[in-house]
Amino acid sequence: MGAYLLLGISILLEVFGSTMLRLSNGFTRVLPVMGVIAGFGTGFYLLSITLEHLPLSLVYATWSGVGTVLTALAGVFFFKEKINRQGVMGIGLLVIGVLMMNLAN
């Protein structure tokens, strides 16, 4: 499986884990806690495989940047969280930064 595909799946699993963390109610709800463990555990495992094929700087910048953007969007769409102009600008800067890191390699 391609390294970028593994990275993408890892990012989605991290976002899933973060979303389940929000739903876990302080680790008091069993099913979301299982989702946190499965999402983060599998996501980190795939991230470690990705690091065998791509440089750490590229992988971590992409994983954390795209994960942050998708987690913010999950908050907006699933939990009705508000995002202001500065938040939108920050997301835009993250996207630009991730693109620049990927184009540099």
Place 28 in a pLDDT band, splitting at 50, 70 and 90: very high
| Amino acid 75: pLDDT | 96
DSSP state string for the chain: --HHHHHHHHHHHHHHHHHHHHHTTTTT-HHHHHHHHHHHHHHHHHHHHHTTTS-HHHHHHHHHHHHHHHHHHHHHHHH-----HHHHHHHHHHHHHHHHHHHH-
Domain holding 61, by residue range, is 3-104
Q: Is the pLDDT of residue 91 over 90?
A: yes
Q: Is the pLDDT of residue 1 over 80?
A: no
| Amino acid 12: pLDDT | 98
Mean pLDDT of the region 90-101: 92
Measured from the Cβ of residue 2, the count of other Cβ atoms closer than 10 Å reads: 9
> What contacts 18, CB < 8 A, 6 or more positions away?
39, 67, 71, 74
Q: Which of 104, 102, 76 lies closest to 88 in space, CA to CA?
A: 76
Contact 68, 46 (CB under 8 A): no
| Amino acid 105: pLDDT | 74
CA distance 46 to 66: 16
Whole-prediction pTM: 0.92
Q: Is the pLDDT of residue 11 over 90?
A: yes
pLDDT digits (tens, 9 = 90+) for 32-88: 999 999 999 999 999 999 999 999 999 999 999 999 999 999 999 999 999 999 999
| Amino acid 31: pLDDT | 98
